[in-house]
Amino acid sequence: MRNLYIFTGILCAALFLGSCEDVALDPVVNPTTAPTLTSPSAGSVFTLDESQSGASVATFEWTAADFGYSAGITYTLELDLAGNDFADAVTIGVTNRTAFSDLTVGKLNNILLAKGLPFGFENELEIRVCASVSDLVETLCSELVPIKINPYQAEVVYPFLTIPGSYQNWDPADTTHAIYSRKSDGVYEGFIYFGIDDALFKFAQGLSWDTNWGDIEPDGVLDAGGIGNDIPIPDGAGMYFIRCDLNTLTYTVTKTDWGVVGDATPGGWDTDTDLTWDDARQVLTLTTDLSVGEIKFRANDAWDFNFGDDFNNGTLEPDGANIPVTEAGNYTIDLYLTVPDYYYTMTKN
């Protein structure tokens, strides 16, 4: 009888465990639905007009995304060159609604010119809308919609951060010392000349101290506002390349000593002829004899930082083409790096 009770107990336990396994459920996967752009339609052409710079470009509309549960959704409108798979996408609007009409003609025109697109030409572009609820949840993006936009000629205004510091009396409204986001993507770059060895600085936005960043450690990671987080320059007075990524709140500071190199220079392609800083004109300058040949600009006697001129028009491009010198003589060369778009002049004396 005792054995019967034991057997019965074991049987009941087995049945209980088996029933638990039977009712175990797979994880519930909520179906999701990405938004769909409904306006503008594929193939739409926009010709931007400077006289309408303050007007809305269009009303962008889309269907609501569905994450499978109730959530506050943020929609981001993105634009990029056709065929680029949104690798260099620019955000043109953010909203929690399923329509957006706050993008002005002037702002869109500036975005396109800042991306280097030609004016007076129908540029092939793509737009999409992406829905997000959290960094922990996968973003849902619509299918791309191809459009064409013809911008007008205008001066490009880039987003910028000023670099107030001990070298310029801590003035956050000083736009002569600034770095720029040429792609309007939250990444800012530029050159700043620090005239004192132990200079300290911070990053400021909006020409005031209301929004600013420093670095307490410093460790290359930004700390918002506060005091006691001034950033020291690492290698004494001179020209520095500063890069600041507000998306990741990181930055780098690199000293750059500039010169010209090439078979038209006294040192050929092996030895740089150094430029010096003219503080009154805010320019790196050099007067030297040049022979017929080619030159380039480079920093620190190396090729990590170098500029050439792809179009031989006085504007500089990173790793650009060699700059021709077609007539031998004595030249004054000026290199302008503390501006949004770098350029040079070469004047025969």
> Which two three-digit tokens encode residue 260?
């010209």
Q: What is the pLDDT of residue 184?
A: 78
| CB atoms inside a 10 Å sphere around CB 342 | 17
What is the SS3 string spanning the chain?
A: CHHHHHHHHHHHHHHHHHHHHHHCCCCCCCCCECCCEEECCCCEEEECCHHHCCCECCCEEECCCECCCCCCCEEEEEEEECCCCCCCCEEEEEECCCEECCCEHHHHHHHHHHCCCCCCCCEEEEEEEEEECCCCCCCEECCCEEEEEECCCCCCCCCEEECCEHHHCCCCCCCCCEEECCCCCCEEEEEEEECCCCCEECEEECCCCCEEEECCCCCCECEECCCCCCEECCCCCEEEEEEEECCCCEEEEEECCEEEECCCCCCCCCCCEECEEECCCCEEEEEEEECCEEEEEEECCCCCCEEECCCCCCECEECCCCEEECCCEEEEEEEECCCCCCEEEEEEC
Sorted by where each starts, the structural domains of the chain and their CATH numbers stand as 37-150 (2.60.40), 160-255 (2.60.40.10), 258-348 (2.60.40)
pLDDT in single tens digits along all 349 residues of the chain:
444 444 444 444 444 444 445 555 555 557 899 999 999 999 999 999 999 999 999 999 999 999 999 889 999 999 999 999 999 898 999 999 999 999 999 999 999 988 888 899 999 999 999 999 998 999 999 999 999 999 999 988 899 999 999 999 999 999 999 999 987 789 999 999 999 999 999 999 999 999 999 999 989 999 998 788 999 999 999 999 999 999 999 999 999 999 999 999 999 999 999 999 999 999 999 999 999 999 999 999 999 999 999 988 898 999 999 999 999 999 999 999 999 999 999 999 9
Rg (CA), the chain: 29
Distance CA 196, CA 199 (A): 6
Q: What is the pLDDT of residue 5?
A: 46
- What pTM did the predictor assign? 0.72
> Which two three-digit tokens encode residue 58?
């269009």
Distance CA 166, CA 135 (A): 38
Q: Could you tell me which residues are beta bridge partners of residue 127? A: 79, 145
Compute the C-alpha angle 210/214/215, nearest 5°.
155
Question: CA quadruple 234, 236, 241, 242: dihedral positive or negative?
Answer: positive
Q: What is the pLDDT of residue 117?
A: 86
